Each structure stands twice: as structure tokens, then as C-alpha cells.
Chain A
């Protein structure tokens, strides 16, 4: 595709439910990142995938958060037993090679936990 695609664009869920957020990176980009942006705040790194290497999970805030990337392309971020503090915009980005190459962001998924 022309850019990074994320779905859904909006997700409203009840506290305690699980949610899955999807990211489709730019074709040919080997690196994929997930970030979280709370209202009026900066971006917080969550997890990074590069090719077939083990992901860097150092930014995940708790064990309720996990992510996978299948076939080196599409990625899914899963939040189990959602809490109200998980409400935020979840942004995905991809870059051609990772490291020092430019990152391109998707439009994000706005998650609201009631």
C-alpha cells in the first residue's frame, strides 16, 4: 500500500475485555514499531520488530500487552484485560531498514476503555 495502515481507527471497549489492534506496514519495510500517545502527551515506545529477529519488547508497560508480526509484514498488538489507563491512541510506524532510517506513521487506533 501507499502508507502504513491501521485498523480499527476507533475502538471502544469495556474494562476487562481484550482488544486487538492491527498494523499493515509499507511494503518492503523490514522494521515495525508500536507507540502509544495519551491525550496531549508525547509518544511512548512500546515494541519493535526487525525482520526475523526477536522483537524488542522493552517498552511494553505490563504483561497484559503483547504483539506479534506474522510473515514479516502485518502486526497485531493485543491488550488483555483492558484498564481505563490503557485509553490512548496507538500508533504504528514502519521504516525501510530500522536503525537510523526515517519512520512513517499510520493514522493510529484511538482506544477508549470504559
Chain B
């Protein structure tokens, strides 16, 4: 089955700095790569996703980059704000699967004002 790892497990940055979280996966057939944000006590919410025919996708301050050869994808947050503080999960999906998500263990991001 899919083995998913996230690094780092915790990340503390100063407001305005950039943050990068990396997700590595084992299944070369994975072809859908979402990132979820979960604020304390709240539900996970999809913030950005990318498919395997694209190398990079950007949405305002958030971007995701994909390296299929190396089997990793990364979440980039620029100009971080305190409201970006949350746990971020990656969940790569096997192309032939039904979509049940195998989540990474999460990265706790703290943005200090």
C-alpha cells in the first residue's frame, strides 16, 4: 500500500516568511495530490490540489509543486499570516483507487506575529 511521509512534522515561522512542507509517497501510480488544512478543532479543508500532468499550480499565496520522478510534492505558502497556523496534511491518491485518502501524519505550522 501507499506509504506517505511528511516533513517537517512541525514548522515555526515568522509572519511574512515563507513555509514549505514536503510530502513523499511510495506508489508510482499516484496521480492526484491534494493538500488539506485543519485548524484546531475544525474539519480538514482542501486548500490546493494538483494532478500528475501538471508540475506546478498556484493559488494566491499557496502553491503546490510535483516531482513525479522523485515521488514527492510540496506545499509552498508565501507571506505567511497568523491565520495560516494549522496542521497541514498531504494525501496522494492512486489513480486506480476509489479515492480513499491515505493521509500523511501532518505538519503543524505555527506563524508567529
Contacts and interface: CB of A to CB of B under 8 A. Distances in A.
B106 A59 contact: no
Contacts of B93: 99-100
- Chain A contact surface mostly: strand
Interface residues of B, number: 23
Interface string B42-54: 1111100101000
Contact of A45 (B89, B95, B100): B100
Given A31-B99, A43-B101, A48-B100, A102 B89 contact: no
Interface in A69-112: 91, 95, 98-108
B99 A99 contact: yes
Contact of A103 (B42, B46, B51, B97): B46
B98 interface: yes
B89 A104 contact: no
By secondary structure, the B interface counts as loop
B102 A91 contact: no
Contacts of A108: 43
B98 A50 contact: yes
Contact of A102 (B49, B98, B104, B106): B49
B98 A43 contact: no
10 contacts: A31-B98, A42-B103, A45-B100, A45-B102, A48-B99, A59-B100, A95-B99, A99-B98, A100-B31, A105-B44
